[in-house]
Amino acid sequence: MTCDTPHHEHHHQPIEHAKIGKPVKDFTMDVFDPEEGGFGEVSLQSLKDQKKWVILFFYPADFTFVCPTELADLAEKHAQLKAMNCEVLSVSTDTKFVHLAWKNDEQLLKNVKYKMAADPTGKVSRYFGVYDCDTGVADRGTFIINPEGLLVGSEISYHNVGRNADELVRKMEASIYLQDHPNEACPAKWTAGQKTLTPSEKLVGKVGQELA
């Protein structure tokens, strides 16, 4: 058995990982809900039943240094993401109790209203390929799951580089647009209202002319 294998599985059973464009298997995590001021539980199935988009925002640990700046940045965009029918979940391998203590102690987290999910066994982190076996914490990973439960966005960064929630909002806008326009594609730096591409044989070698 390796550290990438849950304790209840035998060594000959390879661990399953989430794959882009494929259905995400159900998961359940305990959460600290800052809006309610208490603990709860969240499952992917319940969010699918509500036809929600889901953003999983993995980070290494509470009471660290880059992490509160990222969660504060995400909090600034939470209202926009919520208006897009997104359920935002920050996730680390800390417990829900540590989440509560950190939220109360760290000034940068004062505006955090999204649920803070706990993955103390690392099971969900392993599934999404962000579990660091050497430290027992999660790498910085951002994952977007559409209302049908397909993984449509995946980004993993090293622990010393913080993310930018502006780009997450842009990717969400593009993902939602393409959900309604599946035959189109969004070019680099696309923002709402800009021209998209419709792949076909006529477009081969002529993308520049199409976007001009």
Which of 3, 67, 86, 133 does the annotation list as catalytic? 67
**Token representation of residue 122:** 């690392």
CA angle 106, 110, 115 (to 5 degrees): 100
- For residues 43-63, one letter each, b for 16 or more C-beta atoms within 10 angstroms of the residue's C-beta and e for the rest, the string is ebeebbeeebbbbbbbbbbbe
Specify whether 3 is catalytic: no
- Give 68's contacts (C-beta < 8 A, 6+ positions apart): 102, 106, 108, 109
How far apart are alpha carbons 18 and 122 in whole angstroms? 14
Q: Show which residues are catalytic.
A: 67
